[in-house]
Structure 1
């Protein structure tokens, strides 16, 4: 059997989700971002992880923290097969009004790096929390929802304190190609509102269009144009939620020259029209 699922609880875009899975064959996930926070803990194997605009090498005992709506993709390195635990939770699950809430809980999501490499005693501590979570979610004893919040708060607070104590380690890209794609992604994240073509970016970063196209897809999980459109739509979502600006103005601001194209891309990525999104998410 190539995949063994020890636990799956909840939905990835729901208030709380947890999955423990072991794979023995090659696996990678693409085109992936969501409106929930993520914690990824690698138990065995080795992975590369593209998060937002950087690639990381992930080893057993590493905790990975991915903020909501950050693009991420995990891929095999070396021998295929790995075991990992993933937790996703929403703002609503531990909101500011909750008695267990403290701003420091989210400190680990504001660190420059997305990865904590744990020492052995800290790995044991984290695995104990994971085991308790698994037990609660399987048995669903009285008050288990309260206890999983308590355990998540403990994990987040431990992680934020751990991140604060760590000395800064110079970041190293997984490879020179990952570094180059990271630079291109960072450029798109800043200049998404400008006219942007694959040929123009290829020339600017001294790569052939064909090579850039293949490498970009391989590392990020998106085609070049998919990533540009997604970045523009994510910014449009923010403007729809937080301003009263007209939709045609927002489309132009984020880089769409054609309102019909903006509408099509918005619905393709969000499953609703800009009008519907604004009505449902107005802050």
Structure 2
């Protein structure tokens, strides 16, 4: 499946949406540098959000903050589902209070039927306005986005986190909080009192990736966050994220992302410049 909204974001858009109908399952978790609001229109889906699993039904919404690992799937193969995905950058949120709430509000949201119709209607209007490239295009998208997220935060009831924890969810939680340490397959098997073979088999079955792949992805995720949010050197970031050397960090970074840390930093700065230029152009017109 082609993520057209994702492509628009990569090209410098601050807000992008798409309606999708298919039956595909994501094979592994991923993350974005932007927010994602996922509105399920038809079907049922399971969402893995970091180390928690949620079931969504029509009218439910999932909110993913930047750099939160997630993926969706279904227990029933070839089961069609219909959803609207809305991506947006932190800079597109006009109110600082709303932005701080969004950063800490990833999860499943339920709304009553009336509010659900309002949000669904605004999402439909945003999809319509996205294709109308007049001088009010960006202003319309921004106004609709901010109304959608404010309505969601004011009216929705966040679902409680699932209480059941399996061996793998406990391990994921451990990796997420100890990625900067010297952790590996041997130390994890010892930590959780299981054999390495069992650990590898169950982890692969549950996450569709190996333990080393998950550790490396988690470390690189946190490195990306530091590159964007701090002025620390790559050497310091590598050490903070559990890498023994800057060379190992650079090699792993490219394996996970396809680009080097320097290329990532340059790409991020260029995106910021394009967005700032677009905002300045809107303000001066």
TM-score (norm 1): 0.80
Tell me the number of residue pairs that the alignment of Structure 1 and Structure 2 aligns. Answer: 265
* Cα 1:217–1:109 shift into 2, 3 Å: farther
Contact 2:17 2:84 in 1 (8 A): yes
Cα deviation per residue 1:117-157 (whole Å; 9 max; x = unaligned)? 12211221111112211222234455232111111111010
- The 3-state SS of whatever aligns with 2:166 is helix
For 1:73, which of 57, 71, 74 is the aligned residue? 71
Contact 1:40–1:65 (8 Å) recurs in 2: yes
Who is 1:97 aligned against? none
* Alignment correspondent of 1:83: 82
Q: What is the aligned partner in structure 2 of residue 114 from structure 1?
A: 107
Structure 1, gaps ≥5 residues long: 95-100
Once residues 31 and 65 of structure 2 are traced to their aligned partners in structure 1, the CA distance between those partners, rounded to angstroms, is 9
Partner in structure 1 of residue 209 of structure 2 = 222
**Aligned residue in 2 for 1:171:** 161
Deviations 1:216-250 (A, max 9, x none): 33443432111211222233334445555553343
**Match for 2:121 among 123, 128, 146?**
128
**How far has the Cα of 1:38 moved from its partner?**
0.3
Matching of residue 151 in structure 1 with residue 149 in structure 2? no
The equivalent of 2:34 in structure 1 is 36
Change (3 A) 1:104 1:179: farther
Which residues of 2 match residues 130-279 of structure 1 at below 5 A?
Answer: 130-140=123-133, 143-163=136-156, 166=157, 170-172=160-162, 179-241=166-228, 245-277=232-264
Could you tell me how far apart the structure 2 residues matched to 1:171 and 1:225 are?
27
Alignment RMSD (CA, Å) = 3.0
Is 1:16 aligned to 2:47, yes or no? no
Find the counterpart in structure 1 of residue 279 from structure 2: none
1:6-32: CA deviations, max 9, x gaps?
x95552444222111112x45235242
Instruction: Name the SS of the counterpart of 2:73 in structure 1.
Output: strand
> TM-score under structure 2 normalisation?
0.79
1:78–1:253 distance in 2 versus 1, CA, 3 Å: same
1:49-76 CA-partner distances (Å, limit 9, x unpaired): 1112321111111111001111111111
**In 2 relative to 1, CA 219–122 (structure 1 residues): closer, same or farther, beyond 3 Å?**
farther
* More moved, 148-157 vs 224-233: 224-233
Higher helix share: 2
Change (3 A) 1:12 1:210: farther
